[in-house]
Amino acid sequence: MAATTIEWTHRCLADGTSVPGYTFNVVWGCAKVSEGCRDCYALTFARRLGLDLWGLDGPRRTFGLSYWQQPLRWNKQAQRSGHRRNVFCSSMADVFEAHPTVEQERTKLWPLMERTPWLNWLLLTKRPEHIMAMVPWGKHFPDNVWMGTSVENQRRADERVPLLLEVPAVVRFLSCEPLLEGLDLTSYLARLSWVIVGGESGARARPMEQQWVRALRSQAQAHGTCFFFKQWGGRTHTAGGRLLDGRTWDEMPPECPGEVI
């Protein structure tokens, strides 16, 4: 699989070199759980390929041995280069969905993460209530497993962020995409490493207001939390561009973060 174009998986080295990341999916398919799922890009993409993989009782697409061996090759390449690479898992699913096929495939993911210490695994979920019951590490997460949750509005932030903060991952992050309203995250940011913000894309994309984005940037800066602006959105994900006040905002945690707080 080629490196992904998802900007927040990329890393910028000290010499200015941009190092792309990867995506890895335990399965394809999911079930909608909240407002941000209304026009799910992954569902749309799967249907374009003739795959019906959504719904609580729907099937999930799985992958063979050669697919699961890819991260082992990425890990070797990263080790040779001397710096870690980021892997977004999963762009076409939710690792923490309570679905029998996902459960089956998920059991292969944990040892794979342990075998690939040169990869930072970025797990993003809308189901943070399941994390601690599903991971095998208890209070001792590997430092290459970063945990995030999606918060599209204040209701979901107040539901999900406290659950994420119970997870002893060395990096905890938020994806505010699609951002559907202004958010007040001030009570959470001191214990978060990273905030990613982006607008919705697609034929029915809901607009994102500039003041919502600026407010989140100000909140993150006040708490020393990395701020990443992904896109304004529109009919396509590139339609509105990535500039906020005339520049890009690509902050992210260091590749080997410190202790959990």
**Residues 51-60: what's their mean pLDDT?**
97
pLDDT on residue 204? 94
pLDDT on residue 255? 83
**Residues 105-116: what's their mean pLDDT?**
98
For residue 157, being part of any structural domain is answered with yes
Angle between the N-to-C axes of helices 100-114 and 65-81, in degrees from 0 to 180, rounded to the nearest 10: 30
Domain assignment of residue 150, given as a range: 7-231
pLDDT at residue 13 is higher than 90: no
What are the residues facing 19 on neighbouring strands?
11
- Count structural domains, the chain: 1
**d(Cα 198, Cα 205) in Å, to the nearest integer?**
12
For residue 1, being part of any structural domain is answered with no
pLDDT on residue 258? 67
How many Cα atoms sit within 13 Å of 14 on the Cβ side? 4
Looking up tokens 């999911």, which residue turns up? 30
For residue 201, being part of any structural domain is answered with yes
Of the ranges 1-10, 40-49, 64-73, which one carries the lowest mean pLDDT score? Answer: 1-10
CA distances from 1 to 4, 62, 87, 137 (A): 9, 15, 12, 28
For residue 35, being part of any structural domain is answered with yes
CATH number for the domain spanning 217: value is: 3.20.20
For residue 2, being part of any structural domain is answered with no
Amino acid at 3: A
For residue 165, being part of any structural domain is answered with yes
What pLDDT, in 10s, does the model give residues 15-30?
A: 888 899 999 999 999 9
pLDDT on residue 239? 92
